[in-house]
Structure 1
Amino acid sequence: MLEPFEHQSVTTDFIATNPRVLVTSDPGTGKTRSVLDAYMQRPEGRMLVLAPLSILQASWGDDIEKFTPDLTYTVAYARNRAKAFESDAQIIITNHDAVKWLVKNQHVLNGFNTLCIDEFTAFKNKDSQRSKAALKIAKLFDYRIAMSGTPNSNTICDIWHPTLIVDDGHRLGHRFYSFRSNVCTPVFNGFANEWKDKPDAELMVAAAIKDINIRYELEECIDMPEQSYHTVTTQLSPTMLKAYKDLADDNVLWTGEATINAVHAGALTKKLLQLCTGAVYDEDGTVVGLHEDRYNLVMELVEQRNHSLVAFNWSHERDFLVAQAEKRGIKYGVIDGSTPANKRKDIVDRMQAGQLKVVFAHPQSAGHGLTMTTATTVIWASPTYNAEHYQQFNRRIYRAGQTKRTEVIHIAAEDTWEPGVYEKLQGKLGRMENLLTILKDLNSMKEVA
């Protein structure tokens, strides 16, 4: 069995000696193993793991078998949840939404004393049923661990509720609106107030949570090959560009097949980005096909490389990409919300074995926990506004085990909003990196002390 890296051992010791822990180390630093090794040091009590559905077995189950084979575990899906909790397994691994079931069946948590939340941003919305349920069951656990390498991908407020779940409000307060007033400033946008992070918001939060937080950057733990980012532009045809501008100006587009309406600014943005990708959806959810040019470009990039991971945001993109791969005789896999867990694992294993040239994946379905380091290229067939999905998806190839240089390619249509979306992503990530850098520096100071 491989010995843990030094940063993993330090993280293990921190978890084992602190009943409340936030682990904000980068994706790919091996946080799962540190949690398992720390749990091994506890003399009694069972552990509940809440994680994204896509990595229950692929990350947690596999890591238990690899690093702590003496521990027993079971994966609780919706179909076998009650039976799984009736088992004698030391670790129960289930998905985030299971917390709603657990609130109604709290008796199944008798004997548990450790809660680990993997990707705690799933509980950042204080008003969601899932977040409220997680807060209720968390109080039943003596030891609470929450992990995420992207803790504030949109705003500093993202971290408030996950921290509340871990420490019962001791560090960032019990009242969200008081917290928001301290770290954000209201800015009127012409319709309502938007809350913008204050310049020193990251410093204020980092100082408050430093005693329960541990963080390592991937590059300081492992000698990583270089990763580059660049944009490949494409042009809309004159007909498509006119359709794009008509929709932008009038909020209505006649495609020759259907009328597309965008009823507000958010819907307009979504429709315009969909149009850039080759299709839009009408009011009935029907795809109105317009062009396929960018998918020829994506597949040309795939053919020029050994192994790639391609991100798509809409089902019509997936369908175009699959059709192109089959036409060109390219071996591929697809991971999205409809991919069963066993099929997902098979696709990842086949990519790692070099049997697939490309995996087409939705960022939300393949953005956490999965390792595909045989691939050296991520291609974004279209941009996402979600900075967490963007960062996590890119880290599927840029993580421990990667030995080659990697690249991230953005596909963007000229004279459209697409280049600006990638720029806004970098702005969001910049604010997140501010917090993470401060947390890392504070962690280094603790080690010196």
Structure 2
Amino acid sequence: MIYKPHNYQKYAAQWILDKEKAGLLMDMGLGKTVVTLTAIDELMYDYFDVTKVLVIAPLRVAEDTWTSESEKWDHLKHLKISKVLGTEKERTATLNYKADIYVINRENVVWLVKYYGRYWPFDMVVIDELSSFKSSRSQRFKALRKVKPKRIVGLTGTPAPNGLMDLWSEIYLLDGGERLGRTITGYRERYFLPDKRNQNVIFSYKPKEGAKEHIYEKLKDICVSMKAEDYLKLPDRINNIIKINLSKAAMNKYKQLERDLLLPFKDSDVVANNAAVLTNKLLQIANGAVYDENGDVLEIHDEKIKALEDVIEAANGKPVLIFYSYKHDRDRLQKYFKAKELKTSEDIKAWNKGEIPIMLVHPASAGHGLNLQAGGNIIVWFGLTWSLELYQQANARLYRQGQKQNVIVHHLVAKGTMDEDVMKALQNKEVGQEALLQAVKARLNNIK
């Protein structure tokens, strides 16, 4: 296929060409993979500026997206891509293949850095989904900060899914601390104040007055954002919250666990030892089932199953994509609806051909890089996620370039439960991240 880039894609590719360290905050569906591959091709074969490129990506994206994109476009077919996946023996073998680009999943970054030690061979590194390195305490961050490639590119549509504190480690990987400081402690002290706390224990921080604007200004020369709505004529996305009333018996069980941190059953108990476990258990009950202390599943109600049945019936035979949270959600949905779980590339092809009427997906396994828009336009969140990143990326599997119909996103929310808190948190986080994206937005005349 002949590549005819949009103006915004030309601009994004030029951003990579012009900057040895670049953050490309491109919305889902804008083609950041083909943009980056095009820039790599020019840097390698026109500018002779790089010779060996490493791409770090989520596993499913590493397995499929980068190779399929290079094979799709005529101007990229000559690029040789080696997938550094599988067992250690398989990974070592593929590193020894002669290639232009080596693609590895992010879980193996620590291994790769140790494998090469001081002799890092890649003069360009691309981090596909930069926000997956937002934790400065993670081993993958600590490993990658040791390498100093000539060029580095960070790609993401969700740079600050939980707030501006996420930015420090992401930007550090790009510039080594030049803009936001060399330590997370210094960054925090410079720009933030303690927010939620319990005596000496601080749970969260809030930006100081004027800190947001100062941070945005620091990032403008290295990061640029592009929103799909500015450059693509997408159909509408309709968000629908379906409020669900739990039975009195189910609500009593919910409130008892919330109050006592213990829910006794005949042969076992549901126990919540701390706040995090309690939140998790309450969300499970809101969905209809919960794991007990032995790991067995106890079914509480089927109110969300009934609501989902109504949604599927109203779809009139149209395919429905369902995001679930827990294995017991998946198992119950498979039992009630004979639904298919997305596992392989063949499942993706079958969905896009319209051959799967109901498909189950965990948002963490389909959050990045999968094109499912040809298969349908109806999403149902059976169980919600606290992660704005997973939420936005998952919705973008259908709401993206190539979608021809209005996308309907249903959220099954149990009234009076933690579901309502999660829904509110997602909406608030979207507002906060939007301010950052607007601050570093690409602004060119006639770019649309």
TM-score by length of 2: 0.92
Letter matched to residue 353 of structure 2: A
Q: Deviations over 1:422-449 (max 9, x none)?
A: 0111111111111111111xx317999x
CA deviation map 1:346-377 (0-9, x unaligned): 11111111111222111111111111113211
Structure 2 residue aligned with 1:267: 277
Which amino acid letter does the alignment assign opposite residue 415 of structure 2? E
State how 1:298-377 maps to structure 2 within 5 Å.
298-305=308-315, 306-326=318-338, 332-335=339-342, 339=343, 343=344, 345-373=345-373, 374-377=375-378
- In the alignment, the residues of structure 1 paired with residue 133 and residue 19 of structure 2 have an alpha-carbon distance, to the nearest angstrom, of 22
Residue 444 of structure 1 corresponds to: 443
* Cα contact 2:268–2:294 (8 A) shared by 1: no
More displaced stretch, 297-306 vs 422-431? 297-306
The one-letter code sitting in structure 1 at the alignment partner of 2:380 is I
- Which residue pairs with 1:48 in the alignment? 54
| Greater shift in the superposed pair: 286-295 or 8-17 | 286-295
The correspondence of residues 205-224 of structure 1 with structure 2, limited to 5 A, is 205-224=215-234
**Rounded Cα–Cα distance in structure 2 between residues aligned with 1:15 and 1:447:** 20
Cα distance in 1 for partners of 2:445, 2:406 equals 33
Q: What is residue 118 of structure 1 aligned with on the other side?
A: 128
> Counterparts of 2:164 and 2:287 in 1: how far apart (Å)?
31
Q: 1:81 aligns with which of 65, 86, 91?
A: 91
* Deviation string, structure 1 residues 67-96 (Cα, Å, up to 9, x no partner): 211101121113221011000011111100
Structure 2 match to 1:419: 420
Q: Report deviation, 1:188.
A: 4.4
Pair 109,359 (structure 1): closer, same or farther in 2 beyond 3 Å: farther
- Among all aligned residue pairs of Structure 1 and Structure 2, give the percentage whose two residues are the same amino acid: 29
- The separation in 2 between residues aligned to 1:215 and 1:186, in whole angstroms, is 29
- Mapped to 2, the partners of 1:251 and 1:318 lie a distance apart of 25
Q: 1:385 & 1:110 partners in 2: Cα distance?
A: 37
Alignment of 1:369-388 (within 5 A): 369-373=369-373, 374-388=375-389
Matched residue of 1:260: which SS?
strand
Q: Is the 8 A contact 1:299 1:321 kept in 2?
A: no
Q: What is the distance in 2 between the residues matched to 1:87 and 1:57?
A: 17
Which one is further off, 151-160 or 104-113?
A: 104-113
Which residue in the other structure is 1:395 paired with? 396
CA contact (8 A) 1:225 1:406 kept: yes
Distance change in 2, residues 1:350/1:200 (3 Å):
farther
Q: Tell me, in whole angstroms, the C-alpha distance in 2 between the residues paired with 1:81 and 1:33.
A: 25
Which one-letter code corresponds to 2:250 in the other structure? M
Q: Does 1:406 align with 2:416?
A: no
Which amino acid letter does the alignment assign opposite residue 6 of structure 2?
F
**1:424-439 matches, cutoff 5 A:** 424-439=425-440
Q: Quick one: distance in 1 between partners of 2:218 and 2:290?
A: 45
User: Structure 1 residue 278: deviation in Å?
Assistant: 1.3
- Of 195-204 and 77-86, more deviation after overlay is shown by 195-204
- 1:90 is aligned, of 97, 100, 105, to 100
- Runs of 4+ aligned residues of structure 1 deviating over 3 Å after TM superposition are 107-111, 197-202, 445-448
Question: 1:61 pairs with 58, 67, 87, which one?
Answer: 67
CA distance in 1, matches of 2:133, 2:167: 9
Answer with 107-116 or 264-273: which moved more: 107-116
Q: Counterparts of 1:398 and 1:256 in 2: how far apart (Å)?
A: 46
Partners in 2 of 1:7 and 1:360 — Cα distance? 34
Residue segments in structure 1 that go unaligned for 5+ positions in a row: 327-331
Q: Is the 8 A contact 1:292 1:320 kept in 2?
A: no
Is the CA contact (8 Å cut-off) linking 1:185 and 1:197 kept in structure 2? yes
Measured after TM superposition, the shift of residue 388 of structure 1 is 0.9
- Confirm or deny that 1:8 pairs with 2:20: no
Match of 1:329 in 2: none
Contact 1:75 1:94 in 2 (8 A): yes
Tell me how many residue pairs correspond in the alignment.
432
Which 10-residue stretch deviates more, 252-261 or 196-205?
Answer: 196-205
User: Cα distance 1:243–1:49, how it changes in 2: closer, same or farther (>3 A)?
Assistant: same
In structure 2, C-alpha distance between the alignment counterparts of 1:100 and 1:396, rounded to whole Å? 29
Structure 2 CA distance for partners of 1:200 and 1:356, relative to 1, 3 Å: farther
- Report the CA distance shift for 1:274/1:199 in structure 2 as closer, same or farther (over 3 A): farther
AA in 2 matched with 1:361: V
Structure 2 portions without partners, runs of 5+: none
Where does residue 180 of structure 1 map in the other structure?
188
Change (3 A) 1:24 1:431: same
Q: Cα offset for 1:108? A: 10
Amino acid at match of 1:58: D
